[in-house]
């Protein structure tokens, strides 16, 4: 028998939810200014600067990002994962090639990324083709991370159905034991990817809704074009 009081506490009705939703404040802090005229000629230096500023402002997990892909039917899919690097090649992340996103990228090697740093009212959006790194780069990526990351990579078959939480726990415990005992062990399907940006947009929020949107586009001929967009 369900305790109605407890259920109400954890599952507010539609009206209570909307009241809660509409009571939320956006950017309830002083936001930095952004002069697009002072932006560098390429997006990577600006991304590095904004990332450092987000970290300095106390933004939790500034390396967390949304990765959007498309499945075999062309339907969108999205999830949150961690950025592994951002350099002249592009934006790096890693996953199992046999995961859902790995299969999607094999069939349609394009993706979009989204970073949101509410501590400064900033977003960064990235779109472009995705390439697989070499096996050596993927191995180095995995073993540059923590024991827990290696254990996670060794646990089960990502995105496949698991029979129970108990089965998951048994596999995770075994993976942790192996990761500790064999820190150089391979996870053969672990793959590092790079989103090679064709477009990068920087969004600076403004309390008076005079948001600044600066988009970098890279034509096939090379180089970057900067464009200021209406918010």
Q: What is the pLDDT of residue 9?
A: 55
Give CA–CA dist 130/110, Å, rounded: 5
Structure confidence by residue, pLDDT tens digits, 130-175: 999 999 999 999 888 888 888 888 887 888 888 899 999 998 899 8
Name 187's Cβ contacts closer than 8 Å, sequence gap at least 6: 96, 142, 150, 153, 154
Residues 84-105, mean pLDDT to the nearest whole number:
95
Structure confidence by residue, pLDDT tens digits, 68-87: 999 999 999 999 999 999 99
Q: Is the pTM of this model over 0.95?
A: no
Name 158's Cβ contacts closer than 8 Å, sequence gap at least 6: 95, 96, 98, 99, 100
Structure confidence by residue, pLDDT tens digits, 47-62: 999 999 999 999 999 9
Tell me: pLDDT of 3 over 50: no
Give CA–CA dist 187/155, Å, rounded: 10
Q: What is the pLDDT of residue 144?
A: 86
Q: What is the pLDDT of residue 150?
A: 85
β-bridge pairing 199-204 and 212-217: antiparallel
Say how far residue 166 (Cα) sits from the centre of its chain.
29
Structure confidence by residue, pLDDT tens digits, 173-189: 998 898 898 888 888 89
Give CA–CA dist 223/174, Å, rounded: 49
In the predicted model, what is the mean pLDDT of the chain? 90
Range in 27-36, 109-118, 192-201 with the lowest mean pLDDT: 27-36
């Amino acid at each position: 028998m369900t305790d109605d009081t407890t259920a109400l506490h954890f599952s507010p009705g539609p009206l209570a939810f909307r009241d809660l939703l509409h009571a939320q404040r956006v950017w309830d802090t002083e936001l930095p200014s952004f002069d697009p005229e002072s932006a560098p000629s390429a997006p990577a230096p600006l991304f590095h600067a904004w990332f450092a500023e987000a970290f300095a402002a106390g933004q939790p997990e500034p390396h967390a990002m949304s990765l959007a892909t498309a499945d075999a039917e062309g339907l969108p899919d999205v999830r949150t994962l961690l950025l592994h690097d951002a350099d002249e090649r592009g934006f790096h992340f890693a996953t199992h090639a046999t995961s859902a996103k790995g299969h999607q990228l094999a069939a349609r090697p394009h993706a979009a990324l989204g970073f949101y740093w509410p501590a400064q009212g900033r977003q960064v959006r990235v779109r472009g083709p995705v390439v697989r790194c070499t096996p050596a780069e993927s191995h180095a990526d995995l073993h540059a991370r923590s024991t827990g990351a290696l254990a996670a990579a060794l646990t089960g078959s990502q995105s496949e159905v698991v029979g129970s939480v108990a089965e998951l726990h048994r596999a995770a415990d075994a993976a942790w034991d192996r990761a500790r005992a064999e820190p150089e062990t391979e996870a053969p399907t672990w793959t590092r990817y790079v989103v090679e940006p064709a477009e990068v947009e920087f969004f600076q929020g403004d309390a008076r809704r005079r948001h600044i949107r600066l988009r970098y586009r890279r034509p096939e001929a090379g180089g970057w074009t900067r464009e200021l967009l209406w918010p």
